Structure 1
Amino acid sequence: MFWTLGKGVMALLLAAAGHCVLLSLAACSTGLRRALAGVTAILGEIPSLCLVGLFCMVMTPFWDVVAVGCFSLLVRSVHATLKAETGIPSSFLKTARALRLGRWQGFWRLHIPFAFPELVRSVLRDLPDFWLRILGGELVLALFLSHTPSGLGGALLSALKTGGELSACGVLLLMLVPVLLVQHGLIGPLRGYGRHYAVCDQMQTQRLEERSVSWKRRCLLGGAGTMLTMILSWGFWGIPGPLGALVVAVCLVGGVWGWLGGLLLGAPVQVQKRIRKACLVVALFPVFMVWLGLSVPVPLNVMPALAVMGITGWAFLREADVAGRQFIVMGHHLRLPLWSFWKDVRLPLLCPPLLQAAVVALPFFWDNVYLAALLERKTLHLRILQAHAYSVQGILLCLMTLMAVSVRWGICIPLQERMAHRYRI
């Protein structure tokens, strides 16, 4: 437990230090800031567990897991910070110029406070994936490098090899200890500090950029790119592979939150907040490790969908429009038929936040898909972590990244933008 806790804390501290360094560089010039935003947007799409083998070539197992846990948290938080600063009102920028604030002072005194609430949200969104990278990285290293101490992930694998269900349950309970310690010791104070900038967060306007009707073309291109990447990836995983996990996730998560989310749209605000907190707890719980430790009779392809169920619900309830509750209440008073009520009221309120929640859950989903495929084809992937298999690891990394980029930017984001404009109230 102490190995895993040390890796988690070290990864968070390195991410915080790297965040300050990169933002200090971004404060030097506007061009560097734009370039850094573009680079972090691309790097943030990489499924981090694919980097375990590459980092293992040049690092010890301890720092390998730390680097994997730190990488995505760093690039996604930096991208969220640089993206959120674009919402600063022009009057504030004019005031800063009138006060003759330098470039460095203006960035840290004006841009960062406005971006801080989005930074806190990005850290919260990445927490489930962060712990999956730590625990999953330990499990992968223990699977292929059995002579190295790998923390709780390695302890779970050792308990499974000895056939001890009771030992596996003890390891699963111990996994919650570092999660809770980091949540209350680091994340809780960060959220409390972020409330100081709530005024800045409220002043940012939601600017929905009007796009042309090319969203259909982007969806077609994204779908074609996804299918092509899936076909190429079958050489590593076979059929159904990642495509089967994606289809199951769309049907299962979309069905559950399409029905449950539609019912929760009319619930009181306090009820939604409690359910949102419960969803975050479920998202932080190591669902994949429970499947391994307790031998749950659920197919392996279903596990990525179950793993992202909590983070999808948390993001959906956070993005749901509270003002839309008045339309639900009005529909009840008008006694609309059930089908008309769902088609004309609930679905227009449901689609935009549900697609936005899918965009938030995608990075966590791809790491779960990679871990599921790795455990299913252990003998095939034995060469992935070998030091001389540079080409194999590079191809696998490119395939997973192309898959993530195609689904996110070619399918989910165009659909989310289309629904946001179509059902904007």
Structure 2
Amino acid sequence: MAPLLAASGSIIRKSARSLSFSLACAAAFMVVLAVASRCHLPQTSEAPQPLADFGWETLLFGVLATVARLFGATLLALVMAFLIAVTAVKTQFAQGILRSFVNVLRETPVLGFLPFLKFLGTEISVVGLTAAALVWNMSHALMKALENVPTDLEEAARGLGLTSWQRLWRLEAPFAIPALVAALAASMPTAWMALIAAEMLSIAGSAPVTPGVGAYAAVAALHNNVVALVGLAVIMALIVAVYDLALMRPWQSWSMRYRLDSGSDVSDPWMLSIWRRSQSVKWLGEKIRRGLAWIGGMPFGARRPRLLRKSFFFVPYSVGSAISVGICMAALLAFVGHQELRLIDLAVVTELGLLTAYRVLLVVLFSCLIWLPIGVWLGLRSETAQRFQPLMRLLALYPVNIVFPLAGCAAWHDSRLFASLWPEILIFLGAQWAVLAHILKGMRAFPDDLLQAARNMNVSGMLWWRRVLLPGLAPHILTGFMASSTVAWNIAILAEMVTWYGDAFFAPGLGQYIAQKMWSGDLPHIALGIAALCLYMVMMKRLLWQPLYGQIERRFNSPALRSRD
């Protein structure tokens, strides 16, 4: 009993210290928002082009512009993730700080950065917002991979006399490629959503002026053109499918060559075979390979063994609590001391945040109720799941916010319908796929011998669900809950306020508060809303999801949870 109590106390102290440090980082982020909110948005006098002026040539240019923005944001996110992860892993003091900030920014709605990025220009703000949707998950995955390089590979690198710089480029970076590409693929749905939203959203009353599929969809909604909006939604599906087929799947298959297990036995997709036969791609790949080999061969750094580092910067609980309280008070004073904010605004965002939190939890639970039996059915029939996999992948990647104006069209005919029904439907459309993806992942990892033993003992019905399936799927279901809630918080900004034909329709919630302030260009209230949304997301993770993880781990001794950060 004593060891059990000691272990429980250690878990509680560790959770409390992690919570205090996360709150400190979240509060520091709020201070930055409060300071940035004292600036003023740049005004634009550009007017939207009428939809009739968008011919096929203009539409094709917009499609190419959207694809180019996503590709550029992907490259930018790769560079930023590499710099952040290497700095965190190689610098002992910055490790815990950067990790905590990355964890907080992973739980921050990326759309909240858009008004502040507008200071850098319209095009930079769109690309920067899309990169922000990718970089934090990629940084997190890259940090974990760089810290978990096998010891035998480290010893081989020391035996070859590699310097720290050569070890980074020849050992650690290639070892981290599979995790980095997997994080990129997992973040791609959020990136598509952020890109389309950045092209569609109106900041401070400015109409969309950059060419792109999202901008054309916003103009179609402005001109009450349902046919054009539906056509753009279909074109968007084709763009997502082609981009995934031509780039993401080849990247994922190519990254498997760097795995240490037997995952490289999977056959290459036909598009990767085409790329490999292309002479221009071969020439470009050889140039990149030689350039990286030259960079990685530079004899920089020491040849001594890398010192073992703690995975988290240690802060005593009392010190962490004092820092958290101090920074939270600084954040509160930064907002309260703002000349355009009042104490009543804090009460408003608190109340609206509770409404959105209720809406998010309702959508997550409903998604589980719908997709748990379907996911289990598909998981037990691997051939059927394989046939449906391309469709499910496309639906998960598709940015559903491009069709959100159709809810505004419905509300334009009956405004009472929107406030009572549509916000939950719109959030569900975007958040449901994370739950299904993790249920299917859990079914693939479920032991076949356990299912066979249950069949041999004629275990069926509710007993099969309670005693066999749910204990094994519980970690993956909770992981799906967490991923789905993060997506739902992001989509709430788009779902709780929609526009059609120049009219805006609202549903009460924190997302509606932020979207309405974006519409009017009110930076102080935007910063307050984003800070509240970030705090709600951090508290939901630390006070709801992580305790559930710990409970499941202690009850079922799940290795899937022990492997999570």
TM-score normalised by length of structure 1: 0.82
From 354, 375, 378, give the equivalent of 1:261.
Answer: 375
Alpha-carbon spacing, 1:36–1:110, altered in 2? closer, same or farther (3 Å): farther
- For 2:86 and 2:169, how far apart are their aligned partners in 1? 9
1:222 counterpart residue number: none
Going from structure 1 to structure 2, the CA distance change for 1:110 and 1:239 (only over 3 Å counts) comes to: closer
User: For structure 1, which runs of at least 5 residues remain unmatched after alignment?
Assistant: 203-230
Structure 2 CA distance for aligned equivalents of residues 13 and 242 of structure 1: 34
Letter in 1 for 2:402: M
Question: Given the alignment of the two structures, is residue 418 of structure 1 paired with residue 551 of structure 2, yes or no?
Answer: yes
Give the letter for the 1:267 counterpart: R
Aligned residue for 1:403?
536
The equivalent residue for 1:185 is 246
**Partners of 1:172 and 1:117 in 2: how far apart?**
32
Letter in 2 for 1:393: I
Map of 2:110 onto structure 1: 48
Question: Which amino acid in structure 2 is aligned with residue 116 of structure 1?
Answer: I
Q: Deviations over 1:219-238 (max 9, x none)?
A: xxxxxxxxxxxx96854884
Q: How does 1:6-405 map to 2 (within 5 A)?
A: 6-23=68-85, 25=87, 28-56=90-118, 58-141=119-202, 144-146=205-207, 148-149=209-210, 151-199=212-260, 234-235=348-349, 238=352, 241-268=355-382, 270-293=383-406, 299-375=422-498, 376-377=505-506, 381-384=515-518, 389-405=522-538
Partner Cα distance (1:289, 1:336) in 2 = 46
Q: Aligned with 2:493: secondary structure?
A: helix
User: Is 2:3 aligned against 1:3?
Assistant: no
Structure 2 distance, partners of 1:409, 1:97, is 40
Aligned residue type for 1:258:
L
8 A Cα contact 1:12 1:70, kept in partner: yes
Q: 1:302 to 1:371 in 2, by over 3 A?
A: same
Change (3 A) 1:97 1:242: same
Rounded to whole Å, the distance in 1 between the matches of 2:185 and 2:553 is 23
CA distance in 2, matches of 1:409, 1:396: 20
Larger C-alpha radius of gyration, 1 or 2? 2
* Counterpart residue type for residue 340 of structure 1: L
SS state at 1:145 partner: coil
Q: Aligned-pair distance for 1:385?
A: 5.5
Residues 454, 468 of structure 2: 8 Å contact kept: yes
Alignment-mate amino acid for residue 255 of structure 2 = G
Could you say if the C-alpha distance between residues 360 and 201 of structure 1 is closer, same or farther in structure 2, counting changes exceeding 3 Å?
Answer: farther
Whole-Å separation in 2 of the counterparts to 1:137 and 1:233: 29
1:306-346 CA-to-partner distances (Å, cap 9, x unmatched) read 21222321233224453423322322232224121111011
Q: Verify the 8 A CA contact 1:308 1:361 in the aligned structure 2.
A: yes
Aligned amino acid, residue 169 of structure 2: W
CA separation of 1:28 and 1:350: change in aligned 2, threshold 3 A = closer
Compute the displacement of 1:28 (Å): 5.0
> Conserved in 2, the CA contact under 8 Å of 1:16 and 1:74?
yes
| Deviation at residue 81 of structure 1 after TM alignment | 0.6
CA distance in 2, matches of 1:201, 1:19: 27
Q: Is the 8 A contact 1:14 1:70 kept in 2?
A: yes
d(CA) in 1 for partners of 2:108, 2:392: 25
Distance 1:95 1:233, change over 3 A: farther
Distance 1:114 1:51, change over 3 A: same
Verify the 8 A CA contact 2:108 2:537 in the aligned structure 1: yes
Matched to 1:366, the amino acid is W
Deviations 1:275-327 (A, max 9, x none): 44432211112323334337578622232122122232123322445342332
1:98 shift after superposition: 3.3
Q: Quick check: 322-331 or 21-30, which moved more? A: 21-30
What per-residue deviation string (whole Å, max 9, x for no partner) do you get for residues 118-177 of structure 1?
Answer: 212211111111111011121213793116235222221222232222111111112224
Once the two structures are TM-superposed, the CA of residue 77 in structure 1 deviates from its matched residue by 0.4
Could you tell me which residue of structure 1 aligns to residue 296 of structure 2? none
Q: What letter is aligned with 1:79?
A: H
In the alignment, residue 80 of structure 1 is paired with which amino acid? Answer: A
Residues 316, 353 of structure 1: 8 Å contact kept: yes
Q: Deviations over 1:44-67 (max 9, x none)?
A: 2211011111112x1222221111
Deviation at 1:79, TM superposition (A): 1.5
Measured against aligned partners, the alpha-carbon deviations of 1:227-283 in whole angstroms (never above 9, x if no partner) come to xxxx96854884874123213213211212332233344333x44444444322111
CA distance in 2, matches of 1:271, 1:423: 30
| RMSD of aligned alpha carbons | 3.1
| Partner SS state of residue 308, structure 1 | helix
**Contact 2:141/2:183 (<8 A) preserved:** yes
In the TM superposition, what is the alpha-carbon distance from 1:35 to its structure 2 partner?
4.2
Q: Report SS of the residue matched to 1:141.
A: coil
Instruction: Work out the CA distance in 1 between the residues paired with 2:250 and 2:224.
Output: 40
Tell me which amino acid in the other structure corresponds to 2:470.
L
Distance 1:399 1:233 in 2: 11
TM-score by length of 2: 0.63
Please report how far the alpha carbon of residue 199 of structure 1 lies from its aligned counterpart in structure 2 after TM superposition.
1.6
Please say if residues 156 and 293 of structure 1, whose CA atoms lie closer than 8 Å, have aligned partners that are also in contact. no
Letter in 1 for 2:395: V
CA distance in 2 between partners of 1:277 and 1:192 (Å): 15
Whether contact under 8 Å (2:81, 2:135) holds in the other structure is yes
Q: Is the partner of 1:105 in helix, strand or coil?
A: helix
1:32, distance to aligned residue in structure 2 (A):
4.3
CA–CA separation in structure 1 for the residues paired with 2:534 and 2:461: 42
Query: Secondary structure in 1 aligned to 2:107?
Result: coil
Q: 2:157 and 2:100 mapped to 1: Cα distance? A: 26
Q: Count matched residues.
A: 395
Q: Distance between the aligned counterparts of 2:447 and 2:485, measured in 1?
A: 26
Q: Distance in 2 between matches of 1:379 and 1:416?
A: 32
C-alpha distance in 1, partners of 2:101/2:513? Answer: 35
Q: Are 1:304 and 1:369, in contact at CA under 8 Å, matched by a contact in 2?
A: yes
